[in-house]
Structure formats: C-alpha cells, structure tokens
Amino acid sequence: MPQTRSDDLAPLSVSGTPEEKFREFLEIRGEKLTEPRRVLVRHIFSSHKHFDADELVRDLHEAGHAISRATVYRTLRLLVEAGLLRELRLTNRSAYEHDYGYPAHDHMHCTVCNRVIEFRNEDIRQTRDAISRAHGFRPSGHRFVIEGVCSECSRAHTPRRRLDLI
C-alpha cells in the first residue's frame, strides 16, 4: 500500500525495542515470545508503512518465512492490544501502522488507489481538547481519517466531458 509520510512524523526516541516491549506484554499475560511472533515483530518494525494482514502474509512468504495466516492475525491483534500497532479501519478493510515510537498523527485515505497519507495538524488536536474540556472528558487520543481521492488519482481521472464537471 503506497503511503506518504510528513517530515514531522519522524520516529520518536523510546526506552525499548518493539520486540522487548512485546515480550514484556506477553510475559504479563503468561505467554511466550515464540519464534514466529519474533519474526513478525522484526519484520513489521523493520520499515514504517501501512499494511493489511494479507499484504503482511504475502511479504513474509516472499521473504521465506513460513508463518501461518492464523498466527499473523492473532499476533496482529496482540500487537494492537500491546499498544505497538494501531488498527486503521478504512473504507473496505483494516490497515495497521506503528503506534509505538511514532508521534500522534492523522490520515487521508484515497479510495481509488488505497494510498494512506499521514499528516499532523495542531488545530485538530486543539479542537479535540476544547471539545473534551467542554464535556468534562479526558481524551487519550483520537482517530481522524479523511476519505477521498488523492491528487494523483484526481489528475488521472480528470473529466473529459463538460457534463462531468457539473
């Protein structure tokens, strides 16, 4: 899935690696960091991109890792619960992205090419905080996704007939 990342979304300095944090999370639950889970965490955090479960399964198999689809789905759910990944519910699927070690941000999703564009906007955060204060609410975060058509897809699908412009 193509994506764009703004310069102000560089990784943050964190106290431990995603693998260490996941191991701690699993230990608290009485579970182990198995080799397939370790491979998944290393693969997912080796680059910053948005992906869905099917893309991850395909990428792992292309990299020579024989990890079952069921293990991928269960591990993705655990990584979200652990706060290492964030699930983005898009128009027709769920995508995942790094949560641990990355600043809070929002998204635009092109419904034509599936591109996800990340951005930060202080006005959105201030509006969230003002609304929360007015209602006596303490926010822990928010999810804001703008659905639409990116500039590249808009140019590629420029109307050719005058009636299409209406």
For the segment 73-97, what is each residue's pLDDT rounded down to a tens digit?
999 999 999 999 999 888 778 899 9
pLDDT at 11: 58
pTM of the model: 0.76
CA distances to 37, 40, 45, 103, 135 from 34, rounded to whole Å, are 5, 10, 17, 29, 44
Half-sphere exposure of 54 (CA within 13 A, CB side): 3
Q: Is 102 helix (H, G, I), strand (E, B) or coil?
A: coil
Domain span including residue 72 = 3-165
Is 113 labelled a binding residue? yes
Q: Give the CATH number for residue 104.
A: 1.10.10.10
Domain count, the chain: 1
Is residue 4's pLDDT more than 90? Answer: no
Please count the other Cβ atoms lying within 10 Å of the Cβ belonging to residue 108.
Answer: 17
User: pLDDT band at 68, cuts 50/70/90?
Assistant: very high
Q: Is 110 annotated as a binding residue?
A: yes
Q: Name the pLDDT band for 2 (thresholds 50, 70, 90).
A: very low
User: Is 98 annotated to bind ligand?
Assistant: no
